[in-house]
Every structure is written in structure tokens, then in C-alpha cells.
């Protein structure tokens, strides 16, 4: 499966080292029901964004009878805020994703990170990427994700968010979802996809992929990818660019020659500080240029 290959490239997994020792894992959950990341921590690189001047926490949304945890962060006492959806990797909404939400909140956004795997299971319980994908991620339908994100956007509009200024960003699994939700909801002003899968074989749960929606996409998406990514090839990026050229979304790519997969993930060995900082600056500038803020 292409997704499993992409995720192995995050940390250089092989079949032999698939079972990681749990004592090496980060176990900092951001709230009840949230998954914890299951990777070794490189503490010296971890960016820590405090909540000073912010209102942040966890709420539970009732979406079609399912309680869906939602981490939110926003400037304290502010309303009519631009909205950013922050879509996690396969490991769910752990402390790094919450930190990214707080970074956006410090920039003036209502940032929302929903736990999109909750119906299928708790991503934080798995110590094997292969098992996590098999038992949880591979069972998550795109239609479910799109519907849940629609509900999150509706909630934002009722809780201080200006959903006419809506953006979306995501990492790895969430990068693919960024492309797909931008196609699903043309009200999105702009998206930023960090190393999200672009091509794969369609199936019943994921009947199309970013390359399939590229010619008809109307939302401008910035793709941030690593040339050394062993799961997502530069060739697939070039194919995506060709497909996008058939339409008018004005999407763009930045390929980082010295980075592989997950170069923004500051808690992993894949982190590349210079490219992560450049990508973040480009991300903020992209949203500003497309009137998300």
C-alpha cells in the first residue's frame, strides 16, 4: 500500500524494526480521547508554543451521533476570526498538532484540529505503523472525513469564526486530505499541503486522489514536498503539476532539495529546521495572499 510506504519513510522504518519500544514514544495527549504520537522524540528540536494570550482546549462535537474530539486555539477574547483547519498525520491529534494550532492562533486564527479517526479507533494505542494503518487508517472513508470537516466548519461559524475566510493545512495523511477537502468545499480560500500523497490506486473508501481532482480544482493549494521523500516521488509531484495545469486553481509547489518526508515534524529525526521554517513562512504568506486573514 502506498500510504504505508509513505509513512515508513517518515522515520526510516523497515519490517524488522516495525515494533518500536514504547518507552521511546511520546505520550503527551492534548485531551481525553486524543491519540498520542508513537515515534521516538528528538526533544532538542521540539518547538513549544505556549497558550499565553490564547483560549485553547478540547471540545466534543456531536457529528451524526458520534462524539468527535476537536482541539481548538484562538486569540483570547476575539471573534470574527479567520479559520484554519489543521489536519493531522496518521498518529492523530497529539501535542505537535496542537502546537501547530497554537502557532496559527498566535497569528490571529481560530485553528481547529479534529480527531478524524475516532470512529475507527484510537491511533495512540498502536506501536506498529503497519498495524495502525491496517486496523484504523485504511478503514477511514474519504466521505466520512469530508462530512466531519464540514461539521467542524459549521461549528466554527457558530463559535467566533468567519468561515468566509477559511483555510486548510495538513501533514502527510492530512496533506492528502488538504487537497481533497479543497476540491470538496470550494468555499475554502486556500490550502497548504505538507508532503501529502498525490497518487494511488482508487478503492471503495478513497475513490479518487489529488491527481484525479487536480484539473477541476478551483482552490489554490500550496504543496510543500521533499525531494528526498522515499514514499512520494518528485515524479508524482511533476505529474500533479501537469494535471493542475489543465485547470485554473493557480496551485503551486515548493520542493525542498535537502528534505525527505515529514521535514516539518520537529519531534522526529526527519525534521529539517531550515526547510520547516521556510515552509511555515510560505504557508502564512500563502494564506495572507489569498485573503484567509
Q: Hey, is 81 helix, strand or coil?
A: strand
- pLDDT at residue 43, rounded to an integer: 75
Q: Which residue has 468545499 as its cell numbers? A: 185
Please report where in the chains the cell 485504511 appears, as a residue.
138
231: nearest Cα among 12, 4, 2, 6:
6
Q: Quickly count: other Cβ atoms within 10 Å of residue 37's Cβ.
A: 26
| 96-110, 126-140, 204-218: least confident range | 126-140
99, 142, 148, 229: which one is catalytic? 229
Query: What is the spatial distance between Cα 81 and Cα 110, in angstroms, rounded to a whole number?
Result: 6
Give CA torsion, residues 86, 193, 126, 152, to 10 deg.
30
Q: Is 261 a catalytic residue?
A: yes
Q: Which three cell numbers stand for residue 256?
A: 525542498
What is the b/e burial string over 230-269, where b = at least 16 CB atoms within 10 angstroms of the residue's CB? ebbeeebbeebbebbeeeebebebeebeebbbbbbbbbbe
- As a whole number of angstroms, the distance between CA 170 and CA 65 comes to 26
Bridge partners of 63, per DSSP, are 66
Calculate what percentage of the chain has a pLDDT beyond 90.
79
The model's pLDDT over 260-277, given as tens digits with 9 standing for 90+, comes to 999 999 988 999 999 999
- Tens digit of each residue's pLDDT (9 = 90 or more) over 218-254: 999 999 999 999 999 999 999 999 999 999 999 999 9
Cell of 29: 495527549
Query: At how many degrees (to 10) do helices 173-184 and 142-158 cross?
Result: 70
- Rounded Cα gap, residues 141 and 207, in angstroms: 9
Determine the average pLDDT of the residues in 108-117: 97
Percent of the chain with pLDDT strictly greater than 70: 86
Between CA 279 and CA 282, with CA 209 as vertex, the angle to 5 degrees is: 10
Q: What is the pLDDT of residue 6?
A: 60
Q: Is 176 helix (H, G, I), strand (E, B) or coil?
A: helix
Predicted TM-score (pTM) of the model is 0.90
CB 25 within 8 A of CB 137: no
Q: Mind listing the pLDDT tens digit for each residue in 66-106?
A: 999 999 999 999 999 999 999 999 999 999 999 999 999 99
Q: Which of 254, 251, 259 is nearest to 281 (CA)?
A: 254
Tell me: pLDDT of 11 over 70.
no
pLDDT for res 152: 98
| CA dist., res. 120 & res. 50, Å (int) | 31
Lowest mean pLDDT of 5-9, 44-48, 143-147, 267-271, name the range: 5-9
Q: Average of pLDDT values for 191-219?
A: 98
pLDDT at 36: 41
29 pLDDT more than 50:
no
Q: Tell me how far the alpha carbon of residue 164 is from its chain's centroid.
A: 21
Q: Which of 261, 266, 275, 290 is catalytic?
A: 261
**pLDDT of amino acid 7:** 58
Query: pLDDT category, 130, cuts 50, 70, 90?
Result: confident
The active-site residue, picked from 94, 96, 142, 172, is 172
pLDDT at 34 over 60: no
Quick: pLDDT tens for 150-172: 999 999 999 999 999 999 999 99
155 neighbors 257 (Cβ within 8 angstroms): no
Amino acid at each position: 500500500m502506498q500510504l504505508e510506504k509513505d509513512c515508513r519513510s517518515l522515520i526510516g522504518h523497515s519490517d524488522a524494526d516495525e515494533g518500536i519500544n514504547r518507552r521511546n514514544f511520546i505520550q503527551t495527549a492534548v485531551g481525553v480521547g486524543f491519540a498520542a504520537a508513537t515515534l521516538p522524540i528528538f526533544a532538542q528540536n521540539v518547538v513549544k508554543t505556549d497558550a499565553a494570550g490564547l483560549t485553547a482546549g478540547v471540545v466534543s462535537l456531536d457529528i451524526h451521533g458520534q462524539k468527535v474530539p476537536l482541539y481548538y486555539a484562538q486569540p483570547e477574547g476575539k471573534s470574527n476570526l479567520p479559520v484554519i483547519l489543521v489536519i493531522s498525520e496518521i498518529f492523530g491529534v497529539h501535542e505537535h498538532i496542537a502546537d501547530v494550532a497554537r502557532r496559527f492562533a498566535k497569528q490571529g486564527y481560530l485553528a481547529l484540529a479534529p480527531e478524524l479517526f475516532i470512529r475507527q479507533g484510537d491511533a495512540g494505542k498502536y506501536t506498529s505503523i503497519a498495524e495502525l494503518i491496517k486496523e484504523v487508517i485504511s478503514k477511514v472513508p474519504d466521505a466520512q472525513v469530508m462530512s466531519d470537516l464540514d461539521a467542524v466548519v459549521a461549528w466554527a461559524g457558530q463559535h467566533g469564526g468567519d468561515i468566509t475566510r477559511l483555510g486548510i493545512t495538513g501533514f502527510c495523511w492530512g496533506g492528502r486530505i488538504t487537497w481533497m477537502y479543497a476540491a470538496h468545499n470550494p468555499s475554502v480560500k486556500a490550502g497548504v499541503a505538507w508532503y501529502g500523497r498525490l497518487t494511488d490506486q482508487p478503492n471503495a473508501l478513497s475513490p479518487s486522489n489529488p491527481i484525479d481532482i487536480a484539473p477541476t480544482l478551483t482552490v489554490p493549494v500550496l504543496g510543500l514536498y521533499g525531494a528526498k521523500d522515499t514514499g512520494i516521488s518528485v515524479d508524482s509531484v511533476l505529474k500533479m503539476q501537469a494535471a493542475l495545469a489543465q485547470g485554473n486553481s493557480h496551485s503551486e509547489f515548493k520542493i525542498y532539495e535537502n528534505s525527505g518526508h515529514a521535514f516539518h515534524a520537529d519531534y522526529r529525526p526527519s525534521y529539517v529546521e531550515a526547510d520547516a521554517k521556510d515552509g511555515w513562512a510560505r504557508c502564512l504568506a500563502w494564506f495572507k495572499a489569498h485573503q484567509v486573514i
